[in-house]
Amino acid sequence: MGLITEKLPLYLDPVPGSSWFLGKLDEVINWSRANSLWPLTFGTSCCAIEVMMAAGASRHDVARFGAEVARPSPRQADLLVVAGTIVKRMAPRLRTLYEQMAEPRYVIATGSCVISGGPFIYHSYSTLRGLDGVVPVDVYVPGCPPRPEAYFYGILTLQKLIKEGETVRRPGERRKPVLAALPAGMTVDQIQEEMRSLLVTEKNSGDRRNG
Amino acid sequence: MDNEKLLAALKTLEPQISVRENADRLAVTVPCERLGAFMSKLKLENALRFDILYAHTAIDWVAENRFELIYILSSLEHGHSLMVCVSIPRDAPVAPSVSSIWRIAEWQEREVYDMFGVLYRDHPDLRRLLLEDDWQGFPLRKDYKDDFMLEKPQ
């Protein structure tokens, strides 16, 4: 990878048509990176239940987006999912894990605790008010905790970010952090309606099974 | 043993106890100077046999100027559980340690010391457990303040 990103643009730039070639190379590299995000799951509290366990389990199935290979080791991961409250004593450990990850590395901050301190913002002697002082964050996923759908939207947002990047010419470039909320126009009623229809089909299939 | 029988047995063991209201299980309040003897009887008495100390914590009643120490006990043998409460003065928070009766109390008392600053007599190793060793103050006290903490705007 280092050979391609460091040496290749230098040699290819004088050649006519090279920018087209480099663009295609970008596309291929970005496509493979975006679709095989291996998350290092850093779950310290309730967000981990939604984001790591429910999203990984069969109903929501994060494998559809290529991010199901949860790694317990930072050296094999390229996406740090911080799910849960970060306290003062945890912050240096989190920073260490981030430093141990290989480039390119991305960070998703899920839940209000990581974004701003959440319910612990006042009168807390230990909770950090926001993760951005510890590690640079790419995508924020709001919620307390966010539903797996919101986490998927965060992953899709990150994939979009990665696919827009110029990997070969500007490899280490960081983009501005993004807030991944549900699309505009989506209402709570629609979500509840969808959940209700899901539950109804589940109930019917359960009835079929039983009788 | 159900709650009435348990309470009767406890009364014969220690006449100075009183029942604490508003608890999810049988809860009794013991005077602080009777705590050590009462607890070891709870562990050793055959009919009671409270062999597990589930939890130990404290409540800071700052208006009444006292700490209330809570011990939640359970018996695997008989299947009953009990809450023991002790009040100690807030300006001289000293209580007898029960770590010689239940080993687990050693860490639980360290945590209560860490958060509330309750001092335990005869504790083998009373250090901070969760916070840094050089931490100043006891953060779960109601009047605790530090530079990091943010006050809620009115």
Nearest-CA distance from A117 to chain B in Å? 11
Q: State the greatest distance between any 2 C-alpha atoms of chain B, in Å, as a whole number.
A: 56
User: Does the beta-carbon distance from B148 to A121 stay under 8 Å?
Assistant: no
B35 is a domain residue = yes
Q: From CA B60, how far away is CA B77, in angstroms rounded?
A: 33
Summarize pLDDT for B54-101 with one digit per residue, the tens: 999 999 999 999 999 999 999 998 989 999 999 999 999 999 999 999
pLDDT in tens, B119-147: 999 999 899 999 888 888 899 999 998 88
Query: Nearest-CA distance from B86 to chain A in Å?
Result: 27
Q: How far, in Å, CA of A109 to CA of A76, rounded?
A: 19
In whole angstroms, give the CA distance from residue B113 to residue B111: 5
Domain assignment present for B125: no
How far apart CA B18 and CA A17 sit, in angstroms, is: 90
CB contact under 8 A, A125 and B148: yes
Phi, psi of B96 (to 5 degrees): -70, 145
The answer to whether A92 contacts chain B (CB < 8 Å) is: no
Give B137 to chain A, closest Cα distance, Å.
11
Q: Is residue B116 predicted with pLDDT exceeding 90?
A: yes
Residue B8 has pLDDT above 70, yes or no: yes
- Can you point out the beta strands (E) in chain A? 39-43, 79-83, 106-110, 139-141, 178-179
Residue B149 counted as domain residue: no
- Cβ of A123 within 8 Å of Cβ of B132? The answer is no
In CATH, what number is assigned to the domain containing residue B73?
3.30.460.80
Q: Which residue of B has its CA nearest to A119?
A: B152
In a domain, B28, yes or no: yes
Q: Give the integer Cα–Cα distance in Å for A30 and A36.
A: 10
- C-alpha B86/C-alpha B97 separation (Å) is 12
Strands B52-61 and B66-74: antiparallel
Query: Nearest CA to A95 among A17, A145, A42?
Result: A42
The whole-number average pLDDT for the span B30-46 is 91
Among chain A residues, CA nearest to B130: A89
Say what the pTM is. Answer: 0.77
Q: Is residue B36 part of a domain?
A: yes
CB atoms inside a 10 Å sphere around CB A42? 24
Nearest CA in chain B to A121: B150
Q: Which of residues 121-140 of A touch B (CB under 8 A)?
A: 121-126, 129
**Which amino acid makes up residue A194?**
E
| Pairing mode of beta strands A106-110, A79-83 | parallel
Contact yes or no for A123/B151 (Cβ under 8 A): yes
- Nearest chain A Cα distance for residue B140, angstroms: 9
DSSP 3-state assignment of B46? coil
Residue ranges of chain A with per-residue pLDDT less than 50: 209-211
Residue B52 is assigned to a structural domain of this protein: yes
Chain A residues close to B133, C-beta within 8 Å: none
Please list every residue in chain B whose beta carbon sits closer than 8 Å to the beta carbon of residue A123: 149-152
CA B46 to chain centre: 23
pLDDT score at A173: 66
Search chain B and give the residue with CA nearest A128. Answer: B148
Whether B136 is in a domain gets the answer: no
Q: What is the ipTM of this complex?
A: 0.75
Domains held by chain B: number: 1
pLDDT of residue A23: 80
Its domain, for residue B29, covers 3-94
Max intra-chain CA distance, chain A: 73
Q: Which pLDDT score is estimated for B83?
A: 94
